Amino acid sequence: MDYFIVEGGTKLEGTVSVYASKNAVLPMIAASLLASKGTTVLRNVPNNADVRTMLAVIQHLGAVADFDEKSHKITIDASSVNSYEAPYELVKKMRASFLVMGPLLARFGIAKVSQPGGCAIGARPVDQHIRGFAQLGVKISEKHGYTTAKAKKLAGAILYFDRPSHTGTENILMSAVLASGKTVIINAAQDPEVVDLCNILNKMGAKIEGAGTSRITIRGVSSLSAVDYRPIGDRLEAGTFLFAAAATGGKVRVKGCPPEHISAVLFKLEDMGAKIAEGKNWVEISAPSRLKSTDIITDPYPGFPTDLQALAMSALCRADGTSVIWERIFENRFLHVMELQRLGANITILGDRATIIGVEALGGANVMASDIRAGASLVIAAMSASGKSKISRVYHIDRGYEKIEEKLVTLGAKIKRESE
């Protein structure tokens, strides 16, 4: 099992580029199942564990997929899909595997997918996905840990989400593109990855309007074709480098992510005393040696992303003053707090709020990653601490980033990957 040894105390400086967004690529791999002929090509794809798991899922279904790791290009031929079942062994590795349900239903009228279950950051039910499918005329049964969905022909309907669900919106979109008639999703997720999925689906021949708003309209078409596509840059990877620079008092330019996808984050970084410059597809941060405290509320896009909450917290551990972070999306997304305390942070949690009293310095310690972003937050805190830290269970970080340490080292970080 891999771990990181981080020698803290270096300011990050330089320029770094982001890969395509993991959370845009995963639904696009699922969407490739909608093309019954031709080859789907996705570019600039990060070679991380979640992408490899999603490829394993569609290969299990019978698709022919290849990942050229050097050129970061995926090619998928879904003409030979001959199974409709996503098994427990794959879904348990990654909840997003549930995203194959929408396209399988749309193309074959049948899908059997292992129920994803809870995960470290919360219970994360899929009830909104299921209710949406049912409204499109799908018969659902749940047995032995599997959800089986069947429909002769999906029929458009008006759907409403209790709260905007990112993958829920994507799953319904992919099921509705080949349905008869018109589907309207009310209270849809507005995230850039959802917009990008609509863009690739429209390029494939779908008729979707309203992407990026809370009301998306889909007019069903009879077939879709495979396309060549470059997904948007990863705003969460970009945010990771920005908070890493903020926490270490550095100056870093991040290329490949439109600033408007991280407006809430840039706003908060400015509150924290950082200077931000931006261009069409880049952002540059210059951070003071000590940040100012601020308060953060996580909210569905365009609010502050829950995925960057842990990373912001790491940067705030050494800020001047007291900060409060209110986590409103997931009920258990404070697992990093105990680990940050091991590095010397002064944080208390009351329900869904964490209060961070800034300390003058953090010190190196042994800590453990518990999910993708919690793991990245520990890397940031360890880089801003004095002395040496060991971060174990790096496989959590590797689910969402392609060798995060290599890009950080180009910015001056002292991180080594070692094996137990």
Active site residues: 119
Span from 31-39, 164-172, 176-184, 348-356 in contact with ligand EPU (CB under 6 A): 164-172
Shortest distance (Å) from residue 77 CB to ligand EPU: 23
User: What residues numbered 253-272 form the site for ligand EPU, per CB under 6 A?
Assistant: none
The beta-strand segments (E) located in 174-281 are 182-186, 207-209, 215-219, 228-229, 251-255, 275-278
Q: Whose Cβ is closer to ligand EPU: residue 278's or residue 299's?
A: 299
Among 20, 25, 26, 238, binds ligand EPU (CB under 6 A): 26
In terms of Cα–Cα distance, which of 138, 118, 121 is closest to 130? 138
In terms of Cα–Cα distance, which of 156, 152, 186 is closest to 168? 186
The beta-strand segments (E) located in 181-250 are 182-186, 207-209, 215-219, 228-229
Shortest distance (Å) from residue 7 CB to ligand EPU: 26
Query: Does 167 help bind ligand EPU (rule: CB under 6 A)?
Result: yes
Query: Does 129 help bind ligand EPU (rule: CB under 6 A)?
Result: yes
The residue written with tokens 């849809």 in the block is 188
C-alpha span between 126 and 146 (Å, rounded): 12
Query: Does 390 help bind ligand EPU (rule: CB under 6 A)?
Result: no
Query: Does 393 help bind ligand EPU (rule: CB under 6 A)?
Result: no
Span from 163-171, 173-181, 253-261, 337-345 in contact with ligand EPU (CB under 6 A): 163-171
User: What residues numbered 95-114 form the site for ligand EPU, per CB under 6 A?
Assistant: 96
Angle at 156 between CA 91 and CA 178, to 5 degrees: 60
Shortest distance (Å) from residue 389 CB to ligand EPU: 22
User: What residues numbered 328-387 form the site for ligand EPU, per CB under 6 A?
Assistant: 329-330, 372-373
For the chain, the C-alpha Rg in angstroms (whole number) is 21
Shortest distance (Å) from residue 173 CB to ligand EPU: 12
C-alpha span between 378 and 240 (Å, rounded): 11
C-alpha span between 253 and 283 (Å, rounded): 6
Shortest distance (Å) from residue 307 CB to ligand EPU: 5
Q: Whose Cβ is closer to ligand EPU: residue 20's or residue 385's?
A: 20
In terms of Cα–Cα distance, which of 334, 307, 325, 333 is closest to 239? 307
The beta-strand segments (E) located in 175-281 are 182-186, 207-209, 215-219, 228-229, 251-255, 275-278
Q: Whose Cβ is closer to ligand EPU: residue 44's or residue 167's?
A: 167
In terms of Cα–Cα distance, which of 173, 154, 136 is closest to 222? 154
Shortest distance (Å) from residue 315 CB to ligand EPU: 18
Q: Whose Cβ is closer to ligand EPU: residue 183's or residue 240's?
A: 240
Shortest distance (Å) from residue 299 CB to ligand EPU: 10
Span from 7-15, 120-128, 252-260, 347-355 in contact with ligand EPU (CB under 6 A): 120-128
Q: Whose Cβ is closer to ligand EPU: residue 96's or residue 391's?
A: 96
Quick one: which H or E segment has residue 282?
Answer: strand 282-286
Query: Does 175 help bind ligand EPU (rule: CB under 6 A)?
Result: no
Query: Does 168 help bind ligand EPU (rule: CB under 6 A)?
Result: yes
DSSP codes joined into one string, 109-145: SEEEEE----BTTB----HHHHHHHHHTT-EEEEETT
Angle at 54 between CA 369 and CA 415, to 5 degrees: 30
Binding site for ligand EPU (CB under 6 A): 23, 26, 96, 122, 124-129, 163, 165-168, 189, 306-307, 329-330, 372-373, 400
